[in-house]
A = this chain, B = another copy of it.
């Protein structure tokens, strides 16, 4: 993919993201109010059902066909000692995704959902028939000392993600759960969040996969240096991604954009995938309405990003693994919300007395 083509594709994808059919929101609420249950008694499942109707553009959407996309990449900033794990674990986990033994493999199987594994740029390539190689390079550069990647690489990462979303949509997939793996990527996500939301590093830097207090302090300082060196402009999301982001973050931003373009549901996982969705929403504000927050991670930056996106998490299970695990766990709730909207009998159908409560 040439830079020009990537630039063109991004402009096309951004232009093609149109808002969901909000006229269906009220109609879906009305349809739910006629179902045999007290008004609103299915709580947040009803809110989700209303969103599904608007996104899918129908009061009777077809059964959903979900997939999980997990993108792995390495981060040059890992050299600053910001993770409890060494960098080679990214590639080891990519191999574990391919072998089917990682948490996201198990949870995807448990939910009966297709898993797409992408190498967006792990330091050492891992060739495997079940790994989609969409590599932007052997990991990003160390963003504490300069930009993580070029603007061209950022464009191409997003373009690759849009391409994956296009292919999934072509296969009939209409719900995409975002997952990621990359040693050091909570640091990159923290820097992206600070840059786009004007947050201080201390507000969004947490233990990630298991830093101790001194480790978190070091990470906070590294995030501050990433911002000081690169001075990313919050009005330029592509520039933010290039300066302090990651290849998998860019790729997932593209998957989010592309899925929104096809009127699919984008299920966010934890802090990193949500930061990717934030990049997508800054590029194409209409994409935001296609996002569903699966869960709330204890990583402090996650709440900041979900707040900026106006999303409330469905689950609070203290998950902090990433890989798309929380998103995979939320997929049955999305399926259930659709089923309630489409399959439940109305008071009139069922001959049940409706007191309007």
Interface residues of A (CB under 8 A from B): 35-39, 41-45, 84-86, 88-89, 92-93, 95-96, 99, 101-103, 105-107, 109-111, 209-210, 298, 314-321, 325, 328-329, 332-333, 335-336, 339-340, 343-345, 349-353, 355, 357
Contacts and interface: CB of A to CB of B under 8 A. Distances in A.
A131 to B, nearest CB: 15
B319 A43 contact: yes
A100 to B, nearest CB: 8
B320 A350 contact: no
A342 to B, nearest CB: 8
B37 A357 contact: no
A319 B84 contact: no
Contact of A101 (B110, B316, B344): B344
A36 B101 contact: yes
Nearest to A44: B317
Given A38-B320, A102-B344, A329-B332, A350 B92 contact: yes
A109 B42 contact: no
Contacts of A36: 93, 96, 101-103
Contacts of A352: 89, 92-93, 96
B318 A44 contact: yes
Nearest to A297: B43
Contacts of A355: 84-86, 210
Given A38-B85, A101-B344, 6 more contacts: A42-B325, A44-B319, A95-B350, A101-B343, A110-B336, A209-B357
B45 A319 contact: yes
Contacts of A298: 43
A46 to B, nearest CB: 9
B86 A320 contact: no
A309 B94 CA distance: 42
B103 A42 contact: yes
A95 B351 contact: yes
Contact of A107 (B101, B109, B339, B357): B339
Report, nearest first, the 6 A-B pairs whose CB atoms are least far apart.
A101-B345, A43-B318, A210-B357, A84-B357, A41-B321, A332-B332
Contacts of A86: 353, 355
A103 B321 contact: no
Contacts of A101: 36, 343-345, 349-350
Contacts of A103: 35-37, 42, 340, 344
Which of A36, A109, A325 neighbours the largest number of chain B CB atoms within 10 Å of its CB?
Answer: A36
A298 to B, nearest CB: 8
Contact of A110 (B325, B332, B345): B332
Contact of A350 (B88, B99, B210, B316): B99
B89 A353 contact: yes
